[in-house]
Structures are given as structure tokens and as C-alpha cells.
């Protein structure tokens, strides 16, 4: 047999039985002996074993209890029960506790050799199968990460294209996504909820693909008709998000980021907590970045100006609790959380305006 020799632990209070089993197994196995179940368990816990051969009835701890405790520590360990007073009930109990075999004394050499070979082969196959399964799970997880990264890249590309149409200085949507995620963490969001917020924040203006460039780039005030067309963009964006299972969790941010806390927003005039938390968060961070970002028709405001404007609109335009969370996130520098793998964005290089 190639590789390390299997480790066998023989537990029996009859020294003659232990000696006989050692003679049978010594040529191909490393054999260790224990005179009772308690000693056998101590030896197993100290050094393990590939196979345990145990008498059924021993002082202190019998074979069935030893079997239970061994399997609790290593459920792949091979285990054979030996007994001089075998009963159907005992055999059934042993097999229910996942013993590999049940041999009745007196046994012969071939019987023991074959039973040990079968039990060790079963252990090998179980461990090998688990190794394959673990490797497969790692491969699947890696492929899932690659797919998510590809989708995230595609989302960023789409969001950046929309950003460019709206005459923003580059990086607006990336910053909004960063500010939103940092604010969400202050509010206790994590895992899939945080990922959904990131997606929604990044694509909050995706509906502007349905708004003409004339309106998006107009340097003066919009007419009533033009403003009505602009107000369609949350619903247009929601239809885009609805079409993809990957994007759908971020739909609330897209649909609700123009709603206002006092009910005077659009498209539905929702009030207070009728507005999704995603929408309430993006409303605040989008306003902040809009103020501190240069536009063709005005220069960039300061972070202090933006914070003052947001504070002045608490209770009318913005959710007070979200604003306080945003201020806390700003005080921390809107940090990216490296322990949140579901946020596939590197934001450390993005500018911070607070």
C-alpha cells in the first residue's frame, strides 16, 4: 500500500484479543492498543485513528458509547464492533450509529482483514469525496465572484455613460454609490441589503436614458413640459431594473430617490417611511454630490454649503435619521468596508468632499 500506513486503534479488555488483532494487522497497519473504552477515547482524542476496532462490552465505557464519541469527533473514522455475545439488537444499534462492520468472536484472519480493508476504503472514499466537493465549491464560488465582477463592471460602464450624458464631472455615480453604502452601514445595513443599495445608488439615474439630451444639457431652467419629461426618469429606470434579477434588488433606490420626506416629491408623492430606505439614502447623498460637483452652468459648492443645505431640508426633503447617519459617515470619511465582499467596488481612490 502506497502512502502512510493506516492508523488502527484496538480497544478490548482481553489482552489476548488485542495481541491476536495486532498479529493480524501489524504488517500493513500502525496498531495502537487500549484496554478499555475510556483509554481508547483518550488515545483517539490525542492522536486520532483511521480505524477503531472495539469490543462491545468493556468496563467503564462500552463499544457503542465509544463509537458514538469517536463519530462525534471524526464522522469519517472507520469503526468495527467486535463481540463475543452478538445480538441482532446490538448489531442494529451499531449500524445505526454508522459502524462499518460488526464481527462476532471468534473471528478468523481473513474475516478481520477483509472487514478492515472495506472499512478503510470507505473512509478513503468519504474523505476523497469531501475533498472533491470542497474543491468544487471553491470553483463555483470563484466563478460566481468572476461573474459578479463582470456584472459590476457592466453596471459601472452603464452608469458612467449616463453620468456623461448629464454633464456631471466624472465619478458622480461612483461617489454617490460610495456615500450611500457608507450611510447604509451607519444605519445597520449589511450583506445583501448593502449590495442592493450599492447597485441602486450606482444606477439611480439610469432612467435618464429616456430623457433627451436637449433637456439633460439645458443650461437654463426647464419649461413645465420639459420638467414633466424629466420627472419620468425614476419610472423608466425602474423598468430597466425590473428586467434583470441582478439589478432588481436596487430598484427601490432608482424609483424613490426623487421622493421627499414631506410627500412633495415624485413620481408618487410618497411621504415619510412610505419611501424605501434606499430611496431616502440616495436622495441625501445625490443632493450632496450635486452641490459639491461643478456643472456647466455653475461652479462647485463647498462641502460646508452642501451640509448646511441638507440640514436645512431635514424634515421636508430628507429623513432626519438618514441625514444624521450621512453626517456620521462623512465624519468617518465615507470609508469603504473591505469586509463586505458583496460590494464589488474599490472606492479608496475616490475624492472625499467632507
Residue 303 sits in a domain whose CATH number is: 1.10.3210.10
Shared domain check, 58 and 181 = no
Asked whether residue 145 is assigned to any structural domain, the reply reads: no
- In this prediction the pTM is 0.59
Shared domain check, 123 and 21 = yes
pLDDT of residue 281: 98
Asked whether residue 150 is assigned to any structural domain, the reply reads: no
Shared domain check, 223 and 117 = no
Shared domain check, 300 and 192 = yes
Q: Which residues pair with 166 in a beta bridge?
A: none
pLDDT of residue 170: 62
* CA distance to 18, 41, 53, 141, 205, per residue, from 201 (Å): 71, 57, 62, 26, 8
Shared domain check, 314 and 175 = yes
H-helix or E-strand spanning residue 221: none
Shared domain check, 176 and 107 = no
The answer to whether residues 179 and 281 touch, using CB atoms and an 8 Å cutoff, is no
Measured CA to CA, the distance from residue 137 to residue 131 in angstroms comes to: 10
> Closest by alpha carbon to 319, among 291, 293, 348, 284?
284
Q: Which residues pair with 30 in a beta bridge?
A: 7
Shared domain check, 182 and 101 = no
Asked whether residue 227 is assigned to any structural domain, the reply reads: yes
The answer to whether residues 36 and 14 touch, using CB atoms and an 8 Å cutoff, is no
Shared domain check, 123 and 172 = no
Residues 6+ positions from 165 with CB-CB distance below 8 Å: 208, 209, 213, 216, 217
> Closest by alpha carbon to 181, among 345, 353, 354?
345
Determine the angle formed by the axes of helices 172-186 and 109-165, rounding to 10 degrees: 120
Asked whether residue 122 is assigned to any structural domain, the reply reads: yes
CATH code, domain with 112: 3.40.50.2300
pLDDT of residue 296: 56
Asked whether residue 104 is assigned to any structural domain, the reply reads: yes
**Rg (the chain; Cα; Å):** 34
- Tens digit of pLDDT at every position of the chain (354 positions): 466 899 999 999 999 999 999 999 988 899 999 999 999 999 999 989 999 999 888 888 988 999 999 999 998 899 998 887 766 777 777 778 888 888 888 888 888 999 999 999 999 998 888 888 888 888 887 887 777 777 777 777 777 777 666 655 567 888 899 999 999 999 999 988 998 999 999 999 888 888 887 777 777 788 888 888 889 999 999 998 888 888 899 999 999 999 999 999 999 999 999 999 999 999 999 999 988 886 655 667 788 989 999 999 999 999 999 999 999 999 998 887 544 433 444 333 333 433
Asked whether residue 95 is assigned to any structural domain, the reply reads: yes
pLDDT of residue 104: 83
Shared domain check, 116 and 250 = no
Question: Which cell numbers hold the place of 187?
Answer: 444605519
Q: Could you give the number of structural domains in the chain?
A: 2
The answer to whether residues 204 and 163 touch, using CB atoms and an 8 Å cutoff, is no
Which of 115, 135, 155 delimits the end of a domain? 135
- Burial class for 282, CB neighbours closer than 10 Å (0-12, 13-18, 19+): buried
pLDDT of residue 265: 95
Domain containing 63: what range?
A: 7-135
Cα–Cα–Cα angle for 333, 292, 322, rounded to 5 degrees: 55
Measured CA to CA, the distance from residue 174 to residue 318 in angstroms comes to: 21
Shared domain check, 308 and 203 = yes
Measured CA to CA, the distance from residue 62 to residue 48 in angstroms comes to: 19
Asked whether residue 340 is assigned to any structural domain, the reply reads: no
Amino acid at each position: 500500500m502506497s502512502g502512510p500506513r493506516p492508523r488502527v486503534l484496538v480497544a478490548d479488555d482481553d489482552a489476548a484479543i488485542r495481541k491476536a488483532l495486532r498479529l493480524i494487522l501489524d504488517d500493513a497497519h500502525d496498531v495502537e492498543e487500549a484496554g478499555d473504552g475510556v483509554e481508547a477515547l483518550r488515545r483517539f482524542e490525542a492522536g486520532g485513528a483511521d480505524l477503531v476496532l472495539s469490543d462491545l462490552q468493556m468496563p467503564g465505557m462500552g463499544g457503542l458509547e465509544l463509537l458514538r464519541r469517536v463519530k462525534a469527533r471524526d464522522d469519517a473514522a472507520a469503526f468495527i464492533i467486535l463481540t463475543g455475545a452478538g445480538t441482532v439488537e446490538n448489531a442494529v444499534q451499531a449500524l445505526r450509529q454508522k459502524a462499518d462492520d460488526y464481527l462476532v468472536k471468534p473471528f478468523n484472519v481473513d474475516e478481520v482483514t477483509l472487514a478492515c480493508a472495506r472499512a478503510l476504503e470507505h473512509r478513503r472514499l468519504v474523505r476523497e469525496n469531501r475533498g472533491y466537493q470542497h474543491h468544487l465549491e471553491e470553483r463555483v464560488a470563484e466563478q460566481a465572484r468572476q461573474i459578479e465582477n463582470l456584472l459590476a463592471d457592466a453596471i459601472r460602464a452603464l452608469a458612467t455613460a449616463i453620468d456623461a450624458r448629464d454633464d456631471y464631472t466624472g465619478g458622480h455615480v461612483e461617489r454617490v454609490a460610495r456615500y450611500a453604502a457608507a450611510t447604509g452601514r451607519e444605519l445597520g445595513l449589511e450583506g445583501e441589503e448593502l449590495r442592493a443599495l450599492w447597485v441602486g445608488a450606482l444606477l439611480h439615474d439610469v432612467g435618464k436614458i429616456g430623457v433627451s439630451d436637449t433637456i439633460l444639457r439645458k443650461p437654463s431652467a426647464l419649461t413645465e413640459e420639459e420638467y414633466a419629461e424629466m420627472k419620468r426618469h425614476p419610472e423608466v429606470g425602474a423598468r430597466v431594473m425590473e428586467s434583470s434579477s441582478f439589478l432588481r434588488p436596487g430598484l427601490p433606490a432608482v424609483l424613490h430617490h426623487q421622493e421627499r420626506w414631506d410627500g412633495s416629491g415624485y413620481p408618487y408623492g410618497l411621504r415619510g417611511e412610505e419611501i424605501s430606505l434606499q430611496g431616502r439614502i440616495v436622495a441625501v447623498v445625490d443632493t450632496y454630490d450635486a452641490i459639491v460637483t461643478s456643472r456647466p452652468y455653475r461652479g462647485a459648492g463647498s462641502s460646508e454649503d452642501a451640509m448646511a443645505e441638507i440640514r436645512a431640508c431635514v424634515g421636508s426633503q430628507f429623513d432626519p435619521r438618514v441625514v444624521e447617519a450621512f453626517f456620521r459617515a462623512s465624519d468617518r470619511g465615507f470609508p469603504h468596508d473591505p469586509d463586505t465582499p458583496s460590494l464589488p467596488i474599490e472606492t479608496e481612490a475616490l475624492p472625499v468632499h467632507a
